[in-house]
A and B are shown apart, each in its own frame.
Chain A
Amino acid sequence: MLEPFSESEALSLGVELELQLLSRVDYDLAPVAADLMAAVARRKHPGDIKPELTQSMIEISTSIHRSHDTLLAELREIRDVLCETADTLNVAVAGGGTHPFQHWAERRIYDTPRFHHISSLYGYLAKQFTIFGQHIHIGCPSPDEALFLLHCLSRYVPQFIALSASSPYVQGTDTGFASARLNSVFAFPLSGRAPFVESWREFGAYFDKMTATGVVEGMKDFYWDIRPKPEFGTIEVRVCDTPLTVETAADIAGYIQALSRMLMIERTYVPAEDDYLVYTFNRFQACRFGLDGTFVDPKTHEHRTLREDILVTLATVDRHAIETGAESACARLASRVRDGVSDAQWCRDQYAELGSTNELARAQSRLWMRR
Chain B
Amino acid sequence: MESLRTLYTTLVTAPINAMATTLDFSTRFALLLVAGIVVAEAARRVLRLPRVTGYLLCGALIGPSWLGFVTPEDIAPLHVVGEMALGLVVFELGSRVDLAWLRRNPWLLATSLLEATITFIAVGALLLAIGADTAVAGVVAAICVASSPAVLLRIAHELRARGQATERAMLLCALNAIYSIVLLETLVAVLHLGVSDTMPTLLQPVRLLCGSLLLGVVTALVLDRIFRAFAGPGADAFLLALSVILLCGTVAMQTGLSTPLALLLGGLLLRHRSTRLVLFPPHFGTAGGVLVVLLFVLTGIRIDIAALLAGSGAALGVVALRSAAKISVAAALARPSGLTTRKGVLVGVALTPMSALTLLLVNHAPLAQLDVAAAVTSIVVGALFIVEIAGPVACALALRFAGETTNDRVSGTEHARTL
Q: A residues within 8 Å of B by Cβ?
A: 23-28, 30-32, 34-35, 38-39, 55, 85, 87-90, 105-106, 108-109, 111, 113, 116-117, 119-120, 355-356, 358-359, 362
CA distance A108 to B400 in the complex (A): 13
**By the criterion CB–CB under 8 Å, are A39 and B415 in contact?**
no
**How distant is B395 from chain A, measured CB to nearest CB, in Å?**
18
Can you give 17 contacting A-B residue pairs, CB < 8 Å?
A: A24-B98, A26-B277, A28-B162, A30-B163, A31-B403, A32-B164, A35-B339, A38-B339, A85-B338, A88-B337, A90-B167, A105-B408, A108-B403, A116-B415, A116-B418, A119-B415, A355-B232
A87 to B103, CA, bound (A): 10
Residue of A24, A34, A85 touching B403 (CB-CB under 8 A): A34
| A87 lies within 8 A of B403 (CB) | no
Residue of chain B at shortest CB distance from A362: B277
* Residues A35 and B416 in contact, CB atoms below 8 Å apart: no
Contact B277 A27 (CB under 8 A): yes
The CA-CA distance from A113 to B277 in the complex, in Å, is 37
Q: A119: which B residues are within 8 A, CB to CB?
A: 415
| A89 cross-chain contacts in B, Cβ below 8 A | 105, 164, 338-339
What residues of A have a CB within 8 angstroms of the CB of B408 in the complex? 105
Chain B residues with Cβ below 8 Å from A30 are 162-163
Question: Do A90 and B101 have beta carbons less than 8 Å apart?
Answer: yes
B104 to chain A: which residues have CB within 8 Å? 87-88, 90
B37-68, CB < 8 A from A = none
Given A32-B163, A39-B339, A120-B416, 4 more A-B residue pairs with CB atoms under 8 Å apart are A28-B162, A35-B340, A106-B160, A108-B406
Q: Which of A24, A28, A34, A88 has the most CB of B within 10 A?
A: A88
Find chain A residues with CB under 8 A from B277 CB. Answer: 26-27, 356, 358-359, 362
Task: Kindly provide the distance from the CB of B43 to the nearest chain A CB, expressed in whole angstroms.
Answer: 25
In contact, A35 and B105 (Cβ under 8 angstroms): no
Q: How many whole Å from B3's CB to the nearest CB in chain A?
A: 57
Number of B residues near A (Cβ < 8 Å) is 32
Question: Residue B96 at the A interface, CB < 8 A?
Answer: yes
| Interchain CB contact (< 8 A) of B411 among A38, A88, A108 | A108
Enumerate chain B residues within 8 angstroms of A25, measured Cβ to Cβ.
96, 98, 167
Closest CB in chain B relative to A100 CB, distance in Å: 13
Decide: A88 near B162, CB < 8 A? Known: A105-B408, A109-B411, A120-B415.
no
Which chain A residues lie closer than 8 Å to B415 at the CB level? 109, 116, 119-120
A355 vs B237: C-alpha distance in the bound complex, in angstroms? 15
Contacts of A356 in B (CB 8 A): 232-233, 277
The contact string, 1 if C-beta is below 8 Å from chain A, for chain B 228-251, is: 000111000000000000000000
Contact of A88 among B105, B343, B418 (CB under 8 A): B105
User: Which residue on A lies nearest to B165, using beta carbons?
Assistant: A35
B419 within 8 A of A: yes
Any A CB within 8 A of the CB of B320? no
Q: Which residues of B contact A24 (CB under 8 A)?
A: 98, 101
Bound: A119/B343 CA distance, A: 25
B338 / chain A contacts, CB cutoff of 8 Å: 35, 39, 85, 88-89
Separation of A27 and B277 alpha carbons in the complex (Å): 9
Chain A positions within 8 Å of B418 at CB level: 113, 116-117, 120
List the A side residues contacting B105 at CB < 8 Å.
Answer: 87-90
Residue of A nearest to B408 (CB): A105
Partner of A23, one of B107, B167, B406, B419: B167
Instruction: Please state if A31 and B339 are interface contacts (CB–CB under 8 Å).
Output: no
Which residue of chain B has its CB nearest to the CB of A123?
A: B415
Does A35 contact B343, Cβ atoms closer than 8 Å?
Answer: yes
Q: Which 7 A-B pairs have the closest CB atoms?
A: A116-B418, A90-B101, A88-B105, A88-B338, A39-B338, A35-B164, A87-B104
Q: Which residue of A lies closest to B171 (CB)?
A: A90
Q: Within the assembled complex, what's the spacing in Å between the Cα atoms of A108 and B411?
A: 8
Chain B CB count within 10 A is highest, among A27, A87, A89, for: A89
Please give, as numbers and ranges, the residues of chain B lying within 8 Å of A120 by CB-CB distance: 415-416, 418-419
B279 an interface residue at 8 Å Cβ cutoff?
yes
Cα A62 to Cα B379 in complex, Å, equals: 60
A324 to B343, CA, bound (A): 47
Please give the distance in Å from A196's CB to the nearest CB on chain B. Answer: 36
Q: What 1/0 flags go to B266-297 for Cβ under 8 Å of A? A: 00000000001101000000000000000000
Known: A117-B418, A120-B419, A359-B276. A31 touches B101 (CB 8 A): no
Q: Give complex CA distance A109, B279 in Å.
A: 26
How far, in Å, is B337 (CB) from chain A's closest CB? 7
Question: CB distance A35 to B101 under 8 Å?
Answer: no
Within the assembled complex, what's the spacing in Å between the Cα atoms of A355 and B419?
Answer: 44
- Smallest CB separation, B166 vs chain A (Å): 9
In the complex, what distance in Å separates the CA atom of A23 from the CA atom of B166?
11
Whether A31 lies near B163 (C-beta < 8 A) is yes
Cβ contacts under 8 Å, B339 to chain A: 35, 38-39, 89
Roughly how many angstroms separate A362 CA and B277 CA in the complex, as a whole number? 9
Q: Is B404 an interface residue (CB 8 A)?
A: yes
Chain A residue numbers with a CB within 8 Å of B404 are: 31
State A238–B343 Cα separation when bound (angstroms). 36
Query: Which residue, of B96, B101, B337, B338, has the highest number of chain A Cβ atoms within 10 A?
Result: B338
